[in-house]
């Protein structure tokens, strides 16, 4: 039997959840246009749509909220956050933002010009869209192993350095205003990036004078994977590993809703004073003053505390064992997933589970809909609904290589029995997989279409 770690906390406040009847679930998903984003939370039993902003804050974070200083400028809360950010990440300048995508937006506003190119291992959807929205081209250059769900490479989030070098040579470094890497690689299975790879990517970008930014949403989980898997790091603490990771970069943007275990918040930090001046002006225009960035003072305090809790070693050991446990339950039933399991989520290989449904009929979406119908479970498609797009040169549809369904595990929220229930529900679906049918769009916006698209079942 897979191992389930005892949680390094006990439960002090509970939030009731309810499984509504199968008939109610059928009505709810039809009314939602077969898009799980349009479901009402009250109709969901176990919500694995995202690990973003859905974590449970600790008693220390809740008490920090009471210390929040709501001054418009120069609040104490800002300085408490500043101290934590400088201690962990070590950049010269930082800005709080209301989410990760707000940090991406102001960074893209300043650095991305029409026709320029931004490489990464894999951009997440909001980063991808923020670059496209400014006329730039996001490019994904992760190692080939990332596309083989069975491959057990310990750092499947790594950048392919050969591809990156060739891409820079071909594109010309003058057309690349920044280079990125996402840790862990959310769009590719929550897979970590090794320290060696981060260091080499930085060296390569810097040899072409390209500033290097980390998308750091899950940096603490990445640090713990490095501790577990990379030679030379076993005796280092997660915070020491994190400090080394960021020492190679020129800046980072981050959604604090993941590893800082807050319900809202983001960060942007960098070393270049001229860029900082410009992003500050963008922040003031769109988000708020530089000392609160669209957040309440209390949110900054919860973040300052959460940044350290997300790096706690007992917490990280529990966190990564929880996803490993769920992966074990699914593996026992022969359910295909991206191996090895990532930190924050399990990614079901919907393409392999439903081989009879082609890309254009959205096998991942079909599985996500079925999970809701079977068990009141909400999960997120990461496949053609999210990423298929017309090629800007030829207009031909480009499909992603993997059709996935992500089961994102909120931090400190669900227990072992919730995961057992989930595994049992999936087991039932797999029995009747060949009967499942795909979907087609009845509405789809141009960018970030998974959020608001509507479907019809085929």
**Is residue 380 within 8 Å of residue 49, measured between CB atoms?**
yes
Judge whether 93 and 274 are in contact, CB under 8 Å: no
> How would DSSP label each residue in 412-445?
TT--HHHHHHHHHHHHHHHHTGGG---EEEEE--
The DSSP secondary-structure symbol of 144 reads G
- For residue 215, state whether it binds ligand F0G (rule: CB under 6 A): yes
Q: How many CB atoms sit inside 10 A of residue 133's CB? A: 15
60 is catalytic: no
In the bound complex, what is the minimum distance in angstroms from residue 266's beta carbon to ligand F0G?
5
Residue 148: which residues within 8 A CB-CB, separation 6 or more? none
Per the annotation, the verdict on 148 as an active-site residue is no
* 125 is a catalytic site residue: yes
Q: Which is nearer to ligand F0G, 367 or 430 (CB)?
A: 367
**Spatial separation of the C-alpha atoms in residues 189 and 401, rounded to whole Å:** 12
> Residue 266, interface with ligand F0G (CB under 6 A)?
yes
* Catalytic site residue from 47, 69, 215, 299: 215
Does residue 126 interact with ligand F0G by CB under 6 A? yes
Q: In the structure encoding, which two tokens stand for residue 73, read together?
A: 């400028």
Positions in 401-420 near ligand F0G (CB under 6 A): 408
Q: How far is the CB of 249 from ligand F0G (least distance, A)?
A: 15
Residue 124 designated active-site? yes
Tokens representing residue 269 in the block: 């930090």
Interaction between residue 182 and ligand F0G (CB under 6 A): yes
The two structure tokens encoding residue 215: 């998308």
Alpha carbon distances (Å) from 230 to 89, 108, 241, 375: 21, 33, 11, 38
Q: Parallel, antiparallel, or unpaired for β 212-215 and 251-255? A: parallel
Give least dist CB 138 to ligand F0G, A. Answer: 12
Interface residue with ligand F0G, options 120, 158, 255, 323 (CB under 6 A): 255
Q: Is 188 in the site for ligand F0G (CB under 6 A)?
A: no
Residue 441 CB, nearest approach to ligand F0G (Å): 21
Residue 191 makes contact with ligand F0G by CB under 6 A:
no
**Under rule CB under 6 A, residue 101 binds ligand F0G:** yes
Residue 100 or 343: which CB sits closer to ligand F0G? Answer: 100
Residue 127 within binding range of ligand F0G, rule CB under 6 A: yes
Residue 217 CB, shortest distance to ligand F0G, in Å, is 4
Q: Taking CB under 6 A as the rule, does residue 217 contact ligand F0G?
A: yes
Cα dist. 257→5, 171, 372, 404 in Å? 24, 34, 24, 22
CA-based angle 351:356:362, to the nearest 5? Answer: 55
Q: Which of 109, 95, 55 is nearest to 292 (CA)?
A: 95
**List 34, 124, 213, 315, catalytic entry:** 124
Cβ proximity to ligand F0G, 130 vs 280, nearer residue: 130
Closer CB to ligand F0G, 57 or 436, in the complex: 57
Q: What is the smallest separation between the CB atom of 207 and ligand F0G, expressed in angstroms? A: 26
Query: 417: closest CA among 82, 103, 7?
Result: 7
Measure the CA–CA gap between 271 and 211, rounded to whole angstroms.
10
Minimum CB separation of residue 448 from ligand F0G in Å reads: 10
Angle between helices 313-332 and 416-431 (to 10 degrees): 30
Closer to ligand F0G at the Cβ: 134 or 257? 257
Indicate the residue among 39 and 430 with the shorter CB distance to ligand F0G: 39
Specify the residue, 386 or 429, whose C-beta has the smaller distance to ligand F0G: 386
Is 217 labeled as catalytic in the residue annotation? yes
Q: Which stretch binds ligand F0G (CB under 6 A): 73-81, 99-107, 231-239, 427-435?
A: 99-107
The span from the CA of 283 to the CA of 123, in Å, is 22
Contacts of 60 (CB under 8 A, 6+ apart): 305, 309
Pairwise CA distance, residues 317 & 273, whole Å:
38
Residues touching ligand F0G, count (CB under 6 A): 16
In sequence order, the β-bridge partners of residue 214 are: 181, 252
Nearer to ligand F0G, 182 or 280 (CB): 182
Binding of residue 257 to ligand F0G (CB under 6 A): yes
- Under the binding rule (CB under 6 A), the answer on residue 52 touching ligand F0G is yes
Cα separation, 172 vs 166, in Å, equals 10
User: Could you say whether residue 99 binds ligand F0G (CB under 6 A)?
Assistant: yes
- Strands 117-120 and 137-140 turn out to be parallel
Is residue 213 annotated as part of the catalytic site, yes or no?
A: no
Of 255 and 280, CB closest to ligand F0G: 255
CB nearest ligand F0G: which residue? 100
Residues that bind ligand F0G (CB under 6 A): 50, 52, 99-101, 124, 126-127, 182, 186, 215, 217, 255, 257, 266, 408
Q: Which residues are catalytic?
A: 72, 124-125, 215, 217, 258, 450
């Amino acid at each position: 039997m897979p191992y389930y770690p005892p949680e390094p906390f006990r439960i002090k406040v509970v939030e009731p959840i309810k499984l509504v009847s199968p008939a109610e679930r059928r009505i709810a998903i039809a009314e939602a246009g077969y898009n799980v984003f349009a479901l009402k939370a009250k109709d969901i039993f176990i919500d694995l749509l995202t690990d973003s902003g859905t974590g449970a804050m600790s008693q220390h974070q809740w008490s920090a909220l009471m210390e929040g200083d709501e001054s418009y400028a120069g609040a104490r809360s800002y300085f408490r956050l500043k101290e934590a950010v400088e201690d962990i990440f070590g950049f010269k300048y930082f800005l709080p933002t209301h989410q990760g995508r707000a940090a991406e937006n102001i960074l893209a506003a300043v650095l991305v010009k029409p026709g320029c190119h931004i490489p990464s291992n894999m951009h997440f959807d909001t980063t991808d869209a923020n670059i496209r929205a400014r006329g730039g081209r996001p490019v994904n250059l992760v190692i080939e192993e990332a596309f083989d769900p069975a491959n057990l490479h310990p750092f499947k989030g790594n950048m392919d350095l050969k591809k990156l070098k060739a891409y820079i040579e071909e594109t010309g470094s003058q057309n690349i205003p920044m280079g990125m890497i996402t840790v862990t690689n959310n769009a590719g299975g929550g897979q970590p990036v090794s320290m060696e790879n981060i260091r080499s990517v930085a060296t390569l970008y810097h040899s072409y004078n390209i500033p290097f930014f980390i998308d750091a949403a899950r940096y603490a989980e990445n640090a713990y994977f490095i501790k577990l898997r990379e030679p030379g790091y076993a005796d280092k603490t997660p915070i020491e590993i994190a400090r080394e990771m960021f020492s190679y970069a020129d800046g980072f943007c981050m959604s604090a809703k993941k590893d800082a275990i807050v319900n809202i918040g983001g960060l942007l930090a960098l070393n270049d004073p001229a860029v900082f001046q410009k992003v500050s002006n963008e922040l003031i225009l769109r988000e708020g003053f530089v000392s609160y960035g669209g957040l309440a003072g209390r949110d900054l305090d919860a973040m300052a505390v959460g940044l350290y809790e997300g790096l706690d070693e007992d917490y990280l050991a529990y966190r990564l064992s929880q996803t490993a446990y769920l992966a074990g339950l699914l593996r026992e039933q022969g359910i295909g997933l991206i191996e090895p399991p990532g930190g924050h989520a399990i990614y079901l290989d919907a393409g392999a589970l439903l081989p009879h449904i082609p890309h254009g009929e959205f096998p991942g979406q079909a599985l996500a809909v079925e999970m809701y119908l079977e068990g009141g479970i909400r999960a997120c498609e990461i496949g053609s609904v999210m990423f298929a797009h017309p090629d800007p040169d030829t207009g031909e549809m480009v499909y992603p290589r993997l059709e996935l369904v992500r089961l994102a595990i909120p931090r400190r929220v669900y227990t072992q029995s919730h995961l057992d229930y989930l595994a049992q529900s999936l087991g039932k679906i797999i029995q009747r997989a060949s009967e499942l049918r795909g979907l087609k769009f009845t509405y789809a916006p141009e960018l970030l279409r998974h959020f608001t698209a509507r479907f019809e079942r085929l």
